[in-house]
Amino acid sequence: MKKLIALLLALMMVLSICASCGEDVKTTDTSSEAADLFVPPVSSQIEADKDLYNDAVAALKETELKLDGTPEISEDLVIAIQNAEYTEPKNFIYMIGDGMGFNIVEVTRAKYEDSLYQKKLAINQLPVQSSQTTYSADAQITDSAAGGTALSTGFKTSNQTVAMTHDDTESYKTLLELAAEKGKSTGIVATSNVVDATPASFTAHVADRYMSEGIAKQQLEKVIDGTLDVVLGGGRNNYNSVGNKATLQAAKDDASATYIEDWSEAANAKMPLIGLFAQDHLDTHDENTPSIAQMTDLAIDLLSQDENGFFLMVEGSQIDKKAHNNNFDDEVKEMIDFDCAITVAMRFVALNPDTVLIVTADHETGGLEIPADATSSNYGSHYTTGNHTYKPVPVAAAGKGTEVLLGINENIDLPRFVAKLLGEENFGEPSQVNVIRSTFTDKDIKALANNNSTLNNHTLVEKTKDGALAIHFNNAHNQVSFPAEVLKTNELPNGMRAIHMIIKNTGNKTVMLPHLVAKVAFVTETLVPQVAYISGNTTMRVTYILPDWAWTEKSTEAIKEFTLKYSEGMEINLEINNLAVVTRADNK
C-alpha cells in the first residue's frame, strides 16, 4: 500500500499579455510570470458548453475504441475535449514522442488528412498548443537521458545522465516517484526497451543511460516497494538477466506482481503488472506485438482503478529510432501509432475531466524538412541529419491549469507545473526569461535606423500602434540588425542560452522565417528557427538556441549584435515583439 493521499494544490494561473513597454530588462521564472509574457493572442480553450459536452460524452460511451492502428479522432471526442469543465486533477498522463519535432507531426497530418476529422491529428486537437526548448545542462543538443531527466525532474543535467545531477553525485526525485508518494498508482509504457533512456528517467537514477541491468533492478525494486505498478514495453533480456533474476522473482513473490511476455495474457492481468513483449525493443511491424495504443489503453484501465488517481508516462520511443535511420515511411508510421495512443488518452480525459494530459517530446531527431503547406498529395520531405537537433518541440495539453503552458516553455517547466498540481512547490529549478523588449519605443526605432545603413528613409522598420516592430524585407533590405543599445544585454544575468520572440506574418502568403545572426565577442553564429515557415496572417513564438560555446558566464556581456536576415530576395512583412533571452548559470 502506498502512503495516504495528500490533498492536491489548486492551481489556476490567469494569463495576460504583457502590455508594458518600459525600457528596463525584466527577469522572471519561466514557469510563472514569464508565461504571462508569451501568451498567444487567441484563447486557449473554446468556451465550455455543458449541453454540447454531455451529448458528446453520451455518444463516446456508446462507441467502442477500435485500437487497430486507424486514427480514431472523432467529432464527439473533439467536442468533449474542447467543452469539458476541467476540475482539480487527480490523474496525470504524460506522453513523450521521442524525437518528435513539429515537422514530423505536420507531415504525418498531411499524409493522413483525408481520413482525419477536420484534417487534424489528435495532438492538434488538444486545447493548449505550445512549444518547449530542449537543450541539456552541457550541450546545445540533448540526448534522451538528459531530455528525459528534464521532463521527469524539472532539472537539467548532462547528456547520458539519468535523473541525477550533472556530476552524478545526487539523485533528483522524479514525477513518478512524487506521484507515488502522494498515494497514486503509477506506470510506464514504451515501444522501446523499458530501461531505455526516457522510461529510465522516470524510474531510475544512474550515472550512465547504458547501465541497463542496474536500471531494470531499480524498476523491479520500485514494483516491490509499491512505487511502480505497471510496466509495459520491451526488455525481457534486462529483467531476466543473471543479476536480476532474484529481484524479478521477489517482485512476483513479495509484491504478487503479474509477469507476462505474451499480449494474449494481458486481458486478465492485474496490478502490479510487468508486461515485456520483446527481448529488447518492440517490433512495431509484428502483428503479434501490442500497439502503443493497446498498451496505453490497458495501462489506463488498470491504473484508473485506484480511487486516489494515477500517473502514467507513455513514450512513442521509435519515432526517434526511425528518424536516426532517416526512414521516413517508418517514422510516419510510428508517429500515427503514437497519435492513436494520444486518442486513447484523450478519450479518458473527455470522460474524466479530473485528468491532466500533456504531450511533448524530449528532442527532435533528423532535422526533417518538409514543404510549406504540406498536403496529402504533397508531403515529400528530407532529412538534414541522422542525429538529434536543438529545434524546439511541440507541447499540447488538456486539463485544469494547463493554460500556463501556453507560449514558450523550457523543458523543465512542464514537470514543475505537474509537481505543483501534486502539491509540491519546490520541484526542479527554473531558467530565467529576461525580457529585453515587450514592445518597442520611438527611441528604439531611431537606434535601429542609425544602425542599419541600408534603410531608406526608415521605411524598413517602423513601430505599430501596439508597440510591435514592423519590418519590411525585400531585395534591397534583406536584414535588420539590433544594436547593443536596443538589446541592453549588458544588464542581463550571465549565461545566455536561447533567444525568444513573437513573430507575426502580416502578409497573405506562407514565407520562410528569418535566420538570426548573433555576434558574440568575435564570433558570428547563424541560428535557425524551430520551423522553416510561417503561414500568412499567423502569429508564432519563435525560439533560436545559441550554440553551447556561447554559454559562458560572460556571454551576455559579449553580445554585440543580433541580426534578422533573409538570403532570398522576396517581399516579406513581419511584426516582432516580446524579444527575450533565457539565461542559466554555467553549473545549472
Q: At what angle do helices 413-421 and 144-153 cross, to 10 degrees?
A: 30
Chain centroid to Cα 419, Å, comes to 16
Chain centroid to Cα 356, Å, comes to 15
Q: CATH assignment of 26-430?
A: 3.40.720.10
Cβ contact 434:582 at 8 Å: yes
Cross-strand partners of 185: 310
Please say if 144 is a catalytic residue: yes
> Model pTM greater than 0.85?
yes
Cross-strand partners of 433: 28, 582
Domain coordinates in residue numbering, the chain: 26-430, 433-583
Per-residue pLDDT of the chain (588 residues), as tens digits, is 443 333 333 333 333 323 333 333 444 444 333 333 333 333 334 456 889 999 999 999 999 888 888 888 999 999 999 999 999 999 999 999 999 999 999 999 999 999 999 999 999 999 999 999 999 999 999 999 999 999 999 999 999 999 999 889 999 999 999 999 999 999 999 999 999 999 999 999 999 999 999 999 999 999 999 999 999 999 999 999 999 999 999 999 999 999 999 999 998 899 999 999 999 999 999 999 999 999 999 999 999 999 999 999 999 999 999 999 999 999 999 999 999 999 999 999 999 999 999 999 999 999 999 888 888 888 878 999 999 998 889 999 999 999 999 888 999 999 999 999 999 999 999 888 888 889 999 888 888 888 776 554 445 788 999 999 999 888 778 888 888 778 876 777 778 888 889 999 999 988 889 999 888 767 788 888 867 788 899 988 888 888 887 787 666 666 778 899 987 667 899 999 999 888 887 666
The matching CATH number, chosen from 1.10.3470, 2.60.120, 1.10.540, 3.30.530, for 433-583 is 2.60.120
φ, ψ for residue 345 (rounded to 5)? -65, -40
How do beta strands 91-97 and 310-316 pair? Answer: parallel
| Residue of 74, 130, 144, 431 marked active site | 144
- Give which of 233, 176, 191 is closest to 340, Cα–Cα: 191
Cross-strand partners of 527: 516
